[in-house]
Structure 1
């Protein structure tokens, strides 16, 4: 029994020793002062990346119940999206239309498509080439938030612009 406890303790100590991160050091051997190299600090998303788009621009807009018209908040987000897309003309996107769980599958697929098209039409009106914007509807099939209450439904009535 005592041997098993010692063996367990030794194994735990060995695993702990293996899981620690070694520090990266480099020394200057050409005479002079020794230096230590460290990994560069993370400065944020790479400009023009999907992460940059989500973090710095915003990838989604929200709609009212049974609505597909754009709110002032939505148009402000889409203005930023259009500016970003013009800055990175090689990027193509897919606009996903979503609905909350209420209503039939068919109705919500059609509503999701109207929402996605509202987003696409706004972006193209601001000068984004229509061929760069694909539209797809998921209806109520891909909720962002689970729940049968207004807070969940409000988060699920959305249009999401996804970088391809």
Structure 2
């Protein structure tokens, strides 16, 4: 029985290979997401994207909140989005995604739509502040499925959108050159003073030290 199974498996494999021309490149579908993840890790893209996401979360408020059953931006939400827009403008190679959330009041289908409206409102405001829509990826609505506070009642903290770094623009020249470190540490690169600009006195003082 074992031998018959082995022969059958071999015949199936041979049949599958017979449909592919010898030397023809394999389809990317055969590798799936794992290959894309491995490529990102090997190139350094994944690590640098994680670093940049951490910086964004530390340096800028990532969350805005909404009134009950509303997708209107209040003054506090607009102020937070202004801060996000200022930060985003400093990194033109980076993409962002906005996630919409609701509290548990209302049907699941309605809350999915409401979460999407909230995410769209945040994106539209960022675009009005000069951020290219191409850099803001398709909004994702989690509806009521990811509450910060677990309750069936109205809860403002659950009625929110969250902006996150989602990756790099593949067509950007800096990204094409793989200069991820330069993107992440742009402030440090910009603040560096070339040795040629030092005065003779500064150079002498440096040597003495």
The aligned counterpart of 2:150 is 146
Normalising by the residue count of structure 1, what TM-score does the alignment of the two structures yield? 0.67
* 1:148 Cα deviation after fit: 3.4
Runs of 4+ in 1 over 2 A off after TM superposition: 147-150
Q: Secondary structure at the match of 2:94?
A: coil
Greater helix fraction, Structure 1 or Structure 2 = 2
Residues 104, 149 of structure 1: alpha-carbon distance in 2 compared, 3 angstrom cutoff: closer
Normalising by the residue count of structure 2, what TM-score does the alignment of the two structures yield? 0.53
The aligned counterpart of 1:72 is 75
* 1:156 Cα deviation after fit: 0.5
The aligned counterpart of 2:38 is none
Gaps of 5+ in 2: 1-50, 167-209
Cα deviation code 1:66-121 (max 9, x no counterpart): 01010111101100100111001111111001000010011000000000000000
Q: What is the RMSD computed on CA atoms of the aligned residues?
A: 1.2
The aligned counterpart of 1:52 is 55
Distance 2:152 2:140 in 1: 24
Distance 2:55 2:149 in 1: 23
User: How many residues of Structure 1 are paired with residues of Structure 2 in the alignment?
Assistant: 115
The 8 Å contact of residues 99 and 140 in structure 2, kept in 1 or not, is answered as yes
Distance 1:122 1:112 in 2: 16
Distance 1:91 1:74 in 2: 22
